[in-house]
Structure 1
Amino acid sequence: MWVGLAASDLLSLMRKKPVGILKRNARIAKSSKGGKPRRLTERAADFSKPDIKRGTPPAPPKPEPVLQEPRQYPFWTCQSEVDRQAAACLSKILASDANKRNGTTIKSLTLAPHIKAKKAVYAVTCQTLSYLPVIQQVLSKTTLLNVEQLRPAVAFVITYELLFGQAELQEYLQDVLNEAGVEHADELLSANIARDWPRTARVNLLKISVEEALAWLRSPPLSDQKLATLGSKATVDQLLPDVLLFPAGTDLHDHPLVNNGSLILQSKASCLPAHALAAQPGWQVLDACAAPGNKTTHVAALMGGKGSVLAFDRDPKRLTRLKANAAATGATNIVAQQADFLSLDLCSEELRDVRGVILDPSCSGSGTSHSRMDHLLPFKGQATAEQEAARLQSLAAFQTKALRHALNLPKLERLVYSTCSIHDVENELVVKAVLEEAHELGFQLVDPFPSWPRRGLPLLPGHHHLIRVDPEKDNTDGFFVAVFQRSSS
């Protein structure tokens, strides 16, 4: 059994060249009056020069009282900016996961505008999370986490760098492997961590055709010839003709076609609702809970920019993002407005000619746990059973109310209800709750994708018309789609 490595030895190790992954932050303390932080060490005033106005040296000022705040030590942080930003992201995502808050995701943090080397920070964050169970086992054999100047997230990142980027802690890793009876660290990880899906991108038909996109990808301009190999691997999805598939792990964030809005980074499952609606050019379509706007812009593109798409969202920040996405994609037929869909007068002049509706309301997002990379988190992003049940019931109540409201649009011909949830309470049971009323209004459930193999659960009549996407079998987000068609149309 290896003897535990002392924290002082580890800190010394991490400062040695060629490792060089730790540095000491400036020593900072807060004012006792709650003001801005100030440095404890400041340049002393020069009292040796005479006061020009009085001709005599000034009396030195009274010394400030010494701050008596305990545990005000310099903090250690990562020397590399990539590691430093990765540690900051890691700290936030672990706190969010521990507190059962679903708003923070790995991608939203590591791809934020202030992150300079997005690809590198994303990689270090994901790899550290992937190996976190191993890292924690290794650190348990040391006293590193007892060092008060070292925050846990920083310790995790630098330990990852040492274990898998340097050789100094390899003997401790070997100790962990020997205890587990395995040869490689990968064998200690969950099977789903290494699994990945094909990368998908939607061709924005408002700017470029599928054929033109494939031609550019396979024979890019001379300035982008290095992308030709990537483009040669692109294929067209068999079900959705405007969706391109790339090998798993393909990085498209800085691709020229993505930057100019010709390709939209969107999962295959998220592209299903717009195709299921089958809106015709010239229709007036309503997107009830539109932001951030991927489905909104997709509908606009499939309509060829003709007709109009009324997009509503009650959150002003999300609406701003929706407008930005509409502008970037060239979807000039989108009319975005801040409003609560449930408060809209469906017989108003603005809405009385709506013929198609996309209703993709707030949901649990349980089908997107893989793309959110919840599998990397210690708590898997899961709340307690009681908390989750209460949340699902609250969401289902809103979803049912919104669906019932939408079905009452006077000239509605076709409505798509979709969620990125795998729970029947948000899917089949919501449809079942409104089905009788829908029949009275002249609507029937119809099948938007006859060749799709997975169907709704047998909890209601017509369940075979419902679409379910299985994230394990279909290599995309878990999803649910129901299409209501008015019989007379």
Structure 2
Amino acid sequence: MYLIARNTPHQPPAVNRTRRCLRPCRKGAGESGRRAVTSVLCPVTPSPGGVTMALYVKAAAVLGQLEGKRGSVKTLVYNSGHKNIKQLFALVCETLKYTSVLNEIITASDLLKKEKKLQMNVAKVLVYDFLFGKGLKCGGTWKVLIMKHRSQLKSALARLKVKRKVSRNEDLIETKVSSKEAYQLPRYVRVNLLKSNTEDVIDYFKREGYTYLGQATSIADLRQIDRKQFISDLHLSELLAFHPKTDLHEHFLYTAGHIILQDKASCLPAYLLSPPAGSHVIDACAAPGNKTSHLAAILRNKGKLFAFDLDTKRLATMGTLLLRAGVTCHELANQDFTLVDPSDPKYQDVNYVLVDPSCSGSGIVNRLNQFTDEEESASAQRLQALASFQYKALSLALSFPNVERVIYSTCSIHCEENEDVVKEILKRHGNRIRLVNLMPSWPLRGLDTFPEGPYCIRATPSDTLTNGFFVAMFEKQPGEKETEQTRESIAEGVISLPAADLTPLSISEQKPVASSLSAQSRKAKVKKVKKRKVKSLQI
């Protein structure tokens, strides 16, 4: 006989959660020599089995959706509704890495033939956790099922290792080899200046036994980091680089929000936009929030930071990240940025906009979609659809009445999403904006598909030891600099810099210097803008 405790009104469920004990206590022996079974209530620690079962179900569902080409890994995981997105994402990612291995093991062990009710994707996530993960964390039927076949599964794994002549599990992973995957990138760590400073973080790691190598002077220095060593980046003062195999996800500084794990290339947009403290800034496509937290740190939590994202779940996750990072100057909006009204009075003081829209993600090293849809990610139809959205978002960002600078970035290597979008923007809006010549000392420039293409910057694993990335920055053309002489030269088909912008560049300078792309503007448009400003001041 077993007793099941129920939660009493005066005890909250989280504290008084008990479950039926499956191992009844036996005390002593009776006169007949048989043990007496005592009915007792065991205060067993609540089992995470229910949660873990849900994890396996969600992971299997995501794998099925990937097979049906219903979205990317990140999108499907965020839309899954699972409470622990990070845990689900990790399980899906690792299962994908071992997918071909799991197929062979499941087939060789005849698991699905012996357990006809077990679905393939459920079997994959269960077998992955049993053989390659940290062990099955669930209880119930599934654990009993896998444990019943544990000998066959382990034997199938051993035979596969012998067949492929490997000794380690990770050596079984087969990936589609490409040039970008041939590089192991450093583990980049951005110091969160809202909670700490670079010197204190360096000292903390040194006390933990890490060796600090000082500041890097070249990209080559970043290639020579050994385990338990780290170095300061040569471009961004608050960025540290560790050995590629360094795992800091459970480190105190990360969980407490003192450091952000962010690729160097991803740090460039906020760093280059560099809004002064107190500014009003928009992060157009904000989730998952690393760039937003970087902008807040640059603002020193002073001013206003509007962050938009259409995905409710991603925005909720982002809110948690910003809370951990100590961000307080933000205003989150669950809204499609392309539907925002730039004339809304709340945005009248916005001077800086960061546009990092959805893209193909083709620049990301070890991109998980290589296991599912790599061929389709670069299809002409998909790139055209992405470029259309990117152009729309960037064009809207430039239409805010008092905007001064707009940064545009993607983690794509495709010209269609990068230089082609910038070229089209300049063609349509060149009468009032100009492209900024970013970081002249940066080693990799934009493609010269149009005259100002090299003013943009690119990043690749081979050249910059980062993910593939693209960044361009637009600056609003000051009306007072549009002189009659400039308009005449434009009418003659000559594009020239205003006299104030003809300062020669030093190759060591890192401050962005703008090059003019001004074109003829009509007096009627100028008058309309002035009238609009007068009305807004009256309001």
- Residues 1:144 and 2:134 are matched in the alignment: no
Give the alignment partner of residue 373 of structure 1, picking from 344, 368, 371.
Answer: 368
**d(CA) in 2 for partners of 1:446, 1:355:** 16
Q: Which residue of 1 aligns with 2:272?
A: 276
Alignment of 1:47-446 (within 5 A): 88=57, 91-105=60-74, 113-114=83-84, 128-147=95-114, 148-153=116-121, 155-156=123-124, 186=171, 189-190=174-175, 192=177, 196-219=184-207, 227-229=208-210, 233-368=229-364, 370=366, 372-375=367-370, 377=371, 379-380=372-373, 382-383=375-376, 388-441=379-432, 443-446=433-436
SS of 1:264's partner is strand
- Whether the 8 Å CA contact 2:183–2:462 is kept in 1: the answer is no
Residues 471, 99 of structure 1: alpha-carbon distance in 2 compared, 3 angstrom cutoff: farther
- Whether the 8 Å CA contact 1:416–1:483 is kept in 2: the answer is yes
**d(CA) in 1 for partners of 2:58, 2:109:** 24
Residues 113, 215 of structure 1: alpha-carbon distance in 2 compared, 3 angstrom cutoff: farther
1:271 offset after TM fit, Å? 0.9
Greater relative contact order (CA < 8 Å, ≥ 6 in sequence): 1
**d(CA) in 2 for partners of 1:194, 1:317:** 34
- Whether the 8 Å CA contact 2:287–2:314 is kept in 1: the answer is yes
Amino acid at match of 1:398: F
1:311 offset after TM fit, Å? 2.4
Structure 1: 5+ residue stretches without partners: 1-79, 220-226
Residues 82, 315 of structure 1: alpha-carbon distance in 2 compared, 3 angstrom cutoff: closer
Amino acid at match of 1:452: W
SS of 1:357's partner is strand
Amino acid at match of 1:246: F
1:481 offset after TM fit, Å? 0.6
- Residues 1:461 and 2:428 are matched in the alignment: no
* TM-score in terms of structure 2 length: 0.62
- Whether the 8 Å CA contact 2:273–2:354 is kept in 1: the answer is yes
SS of 2:376's partner is coil
**d(CA) in 1 for partners of 2:350, 2:289:** 18
| Overall identity of the aligned pairs, in % | 38
1:413-433 deviations in whole A, cap 9, x for unaligned? 211011122222211111111
- Whether the 8 Å CA contact 1:354–1:412 is kept in 2: the answer is yes
Q: CA RMSD in A?
A: 3.9
1:111-164 deviations in whole A, cap 9, x for unaligned? x75599x5xx98876665444324434544453332314332454466665699
Q: Which residue of 1 aligns with 2:460?
A: 470
* TM-score in terms of structure 1 length: 0.68
Detail structure 1 runs of 4+ shifted over 6 Å in the superposition.
80-86, 121-125, 163-171, 177-180
- Equivalent residues, number: 394
**d(CA) in 2 for partners of 1:423, 1:476:** 16
**d(CA) in 1 for partners of 2:452, 2:434:** 9
Amino acid at match of 2:453: H
Residues 144, 233 of structure 1: alpha-carbon distance in 2 compared, 3 angstrom cutoff: same
1:215 offset after TM fit, Å? 1.4
SS of 1:282's partner is coil
**d(CA) in 2 for partners of 1:467, 1:252:** 29
Structure 2: 5+ residue stretches without partners: 1-48, 136-149, 213-227, 482-539
Residues 337, 141 of structure 1: alpha-carbon distance in 2 compared, 3 angstrom cutoff: closer
**d(CA) in 2 for partners of 1:162, 1:284:** 51
